[in-house]
Amino acid sequence: MTQPPTIRDVYEARKTIAPYLSRTPLQYSAGLSRLFDAEVYLKHEEHHPLGAFKGRGGINLLAHMSEEERSRGLITASTGNHGQSIANACRLFGARALIGLPEKDPNPVKVAAMRALGAELVFHGENFDEAKAHCERLAAEEGYRYVHPSDEPLLIAGVATQALEIIEDLPDVEVLYLPLGGGSGVSGACLVTGAIAPGVRVRAVQSEAAPAAYLSWKQGELVQAPMATFAEGIATMSGYELPQRIMRDALDDFVLVSDDEIRHAMGMLVQEAHTLSEGAGAAATAGAYKQRESLAGRKVSITVSGANTTVAQLTAALETYGRMNG
């Protein structure tokens, strides 16, 4: 059984990542604070050069990888942001990157970014999980170093550095909201708060149109579930073992939101916080908004995990925001 990372691994990851990525801002949002009747801060992970938090994990993984592993080439499956992270890290450390994506409706912004970073793209299947299974087969047949998108301790330690920054910048924060697809970001936050800020509540948010991780957490075992969300960054059909194991007792709550609530949150971030987000990047805001009555008077951090949206997705979100705000 894979051992989860420790808080020492997170501190080491921060030192490893620092030469490549700047600390992202945690900024007070007057507009969201007014709407929530709370003290709301946004963790701007969309400010990273790749436009998403995942870049932290890829660098930490490749930096700790042996020359033998790098020389084999890396293969992984992604809907975009994880793939960008691995492609960028392979570019930095001189390794070949192969990224598997579903053939159906890949995000063209993310596809273009991965190609620009030098990755070789392998399109297969109707969804992320089919692309992932294909990558696992290719790794076994051709000897690539397979990178699981979530069950990699070095990835989790890398992305956990965002939660470490939040706790350092806002020591009296009470609640952290993060989006959840595979679970690396949320499990990383659970790891950090459990070690250095046990009073802080971590809450995960997922689309109800792709609830596999939520159901896995609720039932205490890995399950699969249908997936039909537009928010490809959190579109998975199954829970993953290592993040689920970390979250099992450490996660305070898990919120499901509709895709329209995610679109509404994308519009809300533009209108109230002058912030661009993709669907997955706005999910945490949607979850916090859904629970806003319970947050009155509290100090809250919401992670904007990425901003790699398309014009069509953003247009639909702004139309939904206008309709729901009447």
pLDDT per residue over 215-269, tens digit each?
999 999 999 999 999 999 999 999 999 999 999 999 999 999 999 999 999 999 9
Same domain, 132 and 265: no
Q: What is the pTM of this model?
A: 0.96
Q: How far is CA 78 from the centre of its chain?
A: 11
Tokens of 256: 């499901």
Is 121 part of a structural domain of the chain?
Answer: yes
* Secondary structure (3-state) at 207: strand
What tens digit of pLDDT does each residue of 267-285 get?
Answer: 999 999 999 999 999 999 9
In a domain, 233, yes or no: yes
Regarding whether 290 and 260 lie in a shared domain, the answer is yes
For residues 49 and 63, membership in a common domain is answered with no
Q: Are 141 and 75 found together in one domain?
A: yes
What single-letter amino acid sits at 170? L
Whether residues 49 and 59 share a domain: the answer is no
- pLDDT score for 79: 82
Residue 184 identity (one-letter amino acid): S
Residue 203 above 90 pLDDT?
yes
pLDDT digits (tens, 9 = 90+) for 62-98: 999 999 999 999 999 998 899 999 999 999 999 999 9
Last residue of some domain: 109, 125, 151?
Answer: 151
Token reading at 309: 């949206």
pLDDT of 53 above 90: yes
Q: What is the pLDDT at residue 105? A: 83
* Residues 167 and 135 placed together within one structural domain of the fold: no
Taking only the tens place, the pLDDT of each residue in 108-161 is 999 999 999 999 999 999 888 899 999 999 999 999 999 999 999 999 999 999
The verdict on residue 14 lying in a domain is yes
Going by C-alpha positions, the residue among 23, 34, 42 that lies closest to residue 281 is 42
pLDDT-derived band at 174, boundaries 50, 70, 90: very high
Give the structural domain span for 122.
Answer: 55-151
- Count: domains in the chain: 2
* Angle CA 182–304–192, to nearest 5: 60
The residue out of 127, 151, 175 marking a domain boundary is 151
- 130 vs 136: CA distance, rounded Å: 10
Q: Note whether 109 and 177 are same-domain residues.
A: no
User: What 3 state SS string does 220-275 have?
Assistant: CCCCECCCCCCCHHHCCCECCHHHHHHHHHHCCEEEEECHHHHHHHHHHHHHHHCC
Which sign does the torsion angle of CA 181, 183, 185, 186 carry? positive
**Whether 161 and 240 share a structural domain:** yes
Tokens 């912004």 correspond to 109
Query: Which CATH number characterizes residue 76's domain?
Result: 3.40.50.1100
Q: Are residues 14 and 32 in the same domain?
A: yes
Residues 201 and 297 in one domain: yes
Cβ atoms within 10 Å, residue 96: 16
Provide the residue type at 226 as one letter.
Answer: P
Contact 262, 316 (CB under 8 A): no
Asked whether residue 26 falls in the same domain as residue 71, the answer is no
Q: Which of 100, 134, 151 is the last residue of a domain?
A: 151
Q: Is pLDDT above 90 for 1?
A: no
What is the reported pLDDT for 326?
73
Q: Tell me which residue of 325, 302, 308, 9 sits closest to 153, measured CA to CA.
A: 9
Same-domain status, 42 and 92: no
In a domain, 112, yes or no: yes
Domain assignment present for 2: no
- What are the Cα distances from residue 21, in Å, to 73, 81, 87, 120? 23, 15, 15, 24
What is the sign of the dihedral through the CA atoms of 125, 129, 133 and 134?
Answer: positive
